[in-house]
Every structure is written in C-alpha cells, then in structure tokens.
Structure 1
Amino acid sequence: MKKIILSLIALVISTGLLAQVQGFAVGEVVDDFTVTDTEGNVHNLYDITANGQYVYIDMFFVDCPPCQATAQYWNEFYDKYGCNQGELFMISINGTGDNDAEVIDFENQFGGSFEHSPAVSTIEGGGAAPDGAFDVVAYPTYFLIGPDNTLLINDIWPISSVVDFENSFAQVGISPTPMQCSLGLDDIVTTDFTIYPNPSSGDEINVTLSENTSQAQVIIYNVLGNVVYSNSFLQRSFTMSTDLSTGSYIVSIKTESGTINKSLVVK
C-alpha cells in the first residue's frame, strides 16, 4: 500500500507542485552518508565530493512505474559521462524496503543496455538512512549535490531522455565532457550466459556460458535476497538440479571474467 501511495504522489510531483527533496533546502549543506551497493562496494558521500565530483543521486523503488520508465536514461547518463570516473558521480539509492535481489532484478529489467550506475538497496545496502535524511516524498527523485556538499538541485524532472539530465549543467554552471568508461580489469565482464528453459519448471535448469571457464560459481537468490541454491561447475554448459518453487529468482554467475546476473522465472 505504501508503494502504491508513493507512486501516486510521484505523478503529482511530476507536475512540479511540490519539491521532492524536503530534508534540505537548495544551498544548504547536506548530511554525510555511507551506503553499500549490490556489488559490495562502499560509497561515502563526503569522500566522493572531496574528490571534487558533482554527485547525482537517484532515489527509487522497484515497483515505481516512473522509476522503471526513466532508469534507462539514468544509466545512459552514467555511461556517457565516464562511469563515475570523471567530474560527475551517479548513484541509485533505494530506501523504501527493497533488497539486493530485487534491486538487481530491477536493473536487469529496466536499466537498459548501458553500463549501470552503482545501485543500493534498503535491506543490505543501508538506503533507508539517506532516504530519510533527504526526506524524499516521491519517486523517482533525481537531485544534485555539489563538491562543497551543498544541495544544488532538488528535483530534475521530467525525464524523457538523457538530455533532461544534461540540461541541469547550465543550472549550476558546469560543462562536463562526455568520456568513455575506463573500467578496471576487475570490473570488466567479458562473459555472458543463457538460461533455458526460462520460464522453468524449477527442477532442472540448463546454463550455457558464452566462453570456456576454469570454474563458474553459481548462486540463485529468491526475491527476499536469500540464497536458495549454490554450486560450482567446470564445464561451459551444465545442468543444475534444483527444487525451486513458483516465483522469480536472480541467477548470479561468477567466473574469472567477472560476475553477471540474470532473472529466472519458475512457473
């Protein structure tokens, strides 16, 4: 019920009738926070701004239709301006009760084909604290914090393309240059995999990797973020014997080339 109400509020907010960030006024120094993304990376706001970066924040929840509709443009923005390695830093924060598995599923479904910004859940990632501190009243809320830790823009909306994010540059007098992402070797994922059948009956699930690997570590999470299956395989193609009940799952496979997550539906 809470999320339904929040979605309705988001529709009202999109008309510009209310400010979406109410915890701080534009020009006010915001509180520091520390969160952990779904990949286990820790992010501290004041550490980021100390590097001279402008911090764009996306407050969202997974069942929010406007969040789903704009996630692809947000990730395009992140990808276009250097994947947090340039003048800009982007991070998505969930503060309304979703867990890592749900956030990963959201990114897989709605995040688009670009590199995805760090995404933080409520349960494992600690997203509730910044969500509460900024007193976000509607979702999605896109806003900007400057290198001096002041709130520069409290609402970037409406969003229909990456240009709407770029239009915020003129408001604060910056002109970042688009730059190619230069991810470290540990962050580059060169492998992929297919799951079949999908949807599945939940008894036997087949996986084929896109390349040979010395070992594939497989973990399956349910929607609550609990591990329901874990195993390691040495073959490029393998079959997992499981006993999964009806529902949605996240299949996470880690090889020497990196980690990739995909959704699995059991009917």
Structure 2
Amino acid sequence: MMNCLAVVNMKEPLKNRNTFMKERSSLLILLILFVNLVYGQEAIDFTITDTKGETWNLYDELAKGKTVVLDFFFADCTPCQKFTPALATLLTEYDQDSLIILGISDRDNNAKVKEFETLFGVNYPSAGSEGGGDTTTNLYKSWFSFVAWPTYAVVCPNRQIHWDLKRDTNFVELREKIQECKGTVSTQNIYKNKVRTYPNPSSSNSTITLALSNAGPYVVKLTSSTGQTILKQLSNESNMLEIPPCDNGIYYLEILQEKSIYQSKLIIQNN
C-alpha cells in the first residue's frame, strides 16, 4: 500500500506541472494575439527566389529601410491580370531604395510566372512554386485570412504588416499604408500650410484649385474638425478638387505625395 501511495504521489506533481505548462503556453499565445491586435501584427519572415534566380528575404529588405508590398497572385486569376499593370506603374512613382514589391504565386511554375510577367508588364521580382511561392503562401495562410485574389499587404520597415488591402486600380488604401510606414514618411517630410487653395474660404459643391510644388499623382484627404473623413481619393496630376456637400466650418486638407505629406486648412462657408 505504501508503494502504491508513493507512485501516486510521484505522478501527481508531474500531472500538475504538465497542466501548468499547457496553461502558460495558452496564456502566452493569448498575450501574443493581444499585442498583435493592439500594436499591429508583425510580418512573418520568408525567402523566395524569383524567375531570374535572385533570392529575396523579407527581413533583409526591411532592414534596409524599405517598405515591402506583398502581391499574392496566380497567373490565371482575372483580377490579378487586371490590377497588375497598375501595380507596376505604382512602383515607378517611388524611389527604389524606399519601396519594393514582391510577387508570390503558390501554384505557377517559373515558365508560367515569366509568361505572366511579360503579358502584364511586371517590373518587380516574382516567385512561383519553384521559388518558394507555395511555401510562403501556405505560411501566411496559417496566420492570415485570404479573402480574394490578388491579396495585397504592405510591410513597414518596423515589420508591422497591413493585411488584405483594398483591390482597385488606383490603390488608394495601399498608397496610404505605404506613406504611413516608418522610413517612408518621417516628421521632416510633413509640411504644414504648404498647399495653397483658392478660393479659400470656399463652399460645398464647388471646385477649388490646389497649388502644388511637385507634379505627379497624389492622394488627397479632407477631414472635418471632429476627425470625420469627408473625402479621400487619388488624383492623377490634376490640381482641381471638387468639394462634396458639407457643413460650414474648418476642414483639414492633406495631400500625400510619394515621400511627403502636405497639410493645410480649408474654410467652408455656404451661402
């Protein structure tokens, strides 16, 4: 009887220890999820080899201060074919030392990816299944939700990832996330009262003229004094802006253009 009691007493602490370890692991997982929720999710590192045989590592590119756009696609995807030329054009608007796009296909071999690159003007590295595209996609599927193809993400130099950005040929949301990334926009690149608008004061449903020092496409955002977004759109080299219906008051105009943010006030006075 004493031996049996001894056996029971030896196993019980081991059982309690295993339970404790499982509970601690669960708490750690919950803590990681909470941190990701509050502070933003961190991108998972990966390495791919593009169709030219060049190797690309995500964390290595981020360490250079670059923002990385991830383009999860496959060659026979009709929306991928539609948006890819516009994505290639977007890349030309940024300094190569500040932005890179990595195309990742989970089901196409190198020959198929090369054909896709030629047909749709891809000017950035792309990897198929032979270059680790399938492994990388499966890795991200285990952490993130793939709602549709293509799936776009922006990874900042601090490894924070903005996942599943809106798919449109203007890439308004994607451009905004690029501008938000550390290393792409710094406090030195924010210019207050550098956008001249006239007439100012203006009124709803009118058109104002923006006097910008730099040419090229930009994202324009108009917010109220309470922080409500009134207007957000991509303007392609046009300096004319139509004001939507809004109440009298002070509004804040923000222009995001490549590495710079220009801010100014706009007064609305309706008759």
TM-score, scaled to structure 1:
0.50
Q: Which has the higher contact order (CA 8 A, sep 6+)?
A: 1
**Higher share of residues assigned helix:** 2
Larger radius of gyration: 2
